[in-house]
């Protein structure tokens, strides 16, 4: 299983905004989107724009952490773009609450056509499938499990588990012990992608927005217990604070391997 990072920024102007200006430590590209092999997409932020039409048409399943625009912006555009190239609908997996938000506020024939009924109710371009925290979907030997998360709207993370290793992705969240308890149970945990949107100087904003800042994330990780060997990959850094956030994380967690996630990199499981 290969996970290609299409985008992982906390804002659309994130490129080069956090790694000292040279992109060497922090190259987030567009907003959040991870391509698994060539047929699964986790979140559909503006990072999806790097894919050609042929690549978009190969995506059969989209797993959404939550309904905020930086994580769903390209979903309606993608569905429209690939419709004539596909013989089966794209399946969107998310919590029932998130799917209801999408239907009410995006695929509502006002903001965007209701592709759950186009070209027909019997053969739509997209279908919704609810996936709540703790639930799993198995696709060609790959297991995608929804993980508990805590954000300003209903939200989940996701775990990817293959034959040899696992990856956990927090989506957007703040302090939430059930997420870390679920992560600890994953077999062969190799990577944990976790958001840290704000520096510690903005901890009040982080708490209001239900995002992590370094001190909040460090407090959670100090309580995770011994034996945590996974590499910590930091996403959703808000420009222009990326370098500061990473410095604060390294100071708070000197014994953990961590770095910024980078657009274009491929993680192998």
pLDDT in tens, 148-163: 999 999 999 999 999 9
Task: Name the phi and psi angles at 13, rounded to 5.
Answer: -100, 30
Which residue is it, tokens 């704000």? 198
Cα–Cα nearest to 149, from 168, 136, 130: 168
Spatial distance between the Cα atoms of 34 and 69, rounded to a whole number of angstroms: 16
Spatial distance between the Cα atoms of 92 and 83, rounded to a whole number of angstroms: 14
Cα–Cα nearest to 90, from 59, 132, 45, 44: 59
Q: How far is CA 237 from each of CA 12, 31, 65, 176, rounded to the nearest angstrom?
A: 11, 10, 17, 19
Count the Cβ atoms, other than its own, within 10 Å of residue 84.
Answer: 9
As its CATH architecture, domain 2-268 has 4-Layer Sandwich (3.60)
- Summarised one tens digit per residue, pLDDT across range 11-63 is 986 443 333 333 445 567 899 999 999 999 999 999 999 999 999 999 999 99
Spatial distance between the Cα atoms of 51 and 38, rounded to a whole number of angstroms: 11
Task: Name the phi and psi angles at 39, rounded to 5.
Answer: -130, -5
User: Six-digit token pair at 214?
Assistant: 């370094």
pLDDT tens digits, the chain, 269 residues: what are they?
Answer: 999 999 999 998 644 333 333 344 556 789 999 999 999 999 999 999 999 999 999 999 999 999 999 999 999 999 999 988 999 999 999 999 999 999 999 999 999 999 999 999 999 999 999 999 999 999 999 999 999 999 999 999 999 999 989 999 999 999 999 999 999 999 999 999 999 999 999 999 999 999 999 999 999 998 776 678 899 999 999 989 999 999 999 999 998 989 999 999 999 99
Spatial distance between the Cα atoms of 269 and 267, rounded to a whole number of angstroms: 7
């Amino acid at each position: 299983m290969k996970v290609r990072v299409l985008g992982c920024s906390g804002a659309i102007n994130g490129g080069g905004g956090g790694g000292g200006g040279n992109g060497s430590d922090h190259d987030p590209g567009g907003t959040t989107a991870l391509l698994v092999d060539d047929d699964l997409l986790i979140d559909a932020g503006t990072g999806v724009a790097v894919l050609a039409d042929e690549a978009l048409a190969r995506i059969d399943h989209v797993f959404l952490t939550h309904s905020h625009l930086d994580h769903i912006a390209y979903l309606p555009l993608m569905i429209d773009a690939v419709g004539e190239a596909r013989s089966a609908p794209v399946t969107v997996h998310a919590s029932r609450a998130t799917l209801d938000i999408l239907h009410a506020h995006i695929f509502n024939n006002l903001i965007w056509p209701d592709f759950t009924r186009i070209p027909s109710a019997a053969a739509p371009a997209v279908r919704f499938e609810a996936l709540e925290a703790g639930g799993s979907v198995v696709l060609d030997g790959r297991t995608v499990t929804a993980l508990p998360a805590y954000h300003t709207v209903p939200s989940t993370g996701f775990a990817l588990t293959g034959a040899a290793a696992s990856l956990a992705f927090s989506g957007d969240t703040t302090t939430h012990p059930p997420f870390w308890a679920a992560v600890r149970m994953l077999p062969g945990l190799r990577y944990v992608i976790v958001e840290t949107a704000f520096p510690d100087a903005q901890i009040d904003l982080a708490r209001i927005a239900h995002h992590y800042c370094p001190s909040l994330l460090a407090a959670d990780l100090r309580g995770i217990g011994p034996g945590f060997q996974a590499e910590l990959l930091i996403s959703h850094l808000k420009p222009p604070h990326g370098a500061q956030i990473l410095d604060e994380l390294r100071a708070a967690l000197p014994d953990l391997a961590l770095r910024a996630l980078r657009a274009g990199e491929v993680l192998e499981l």
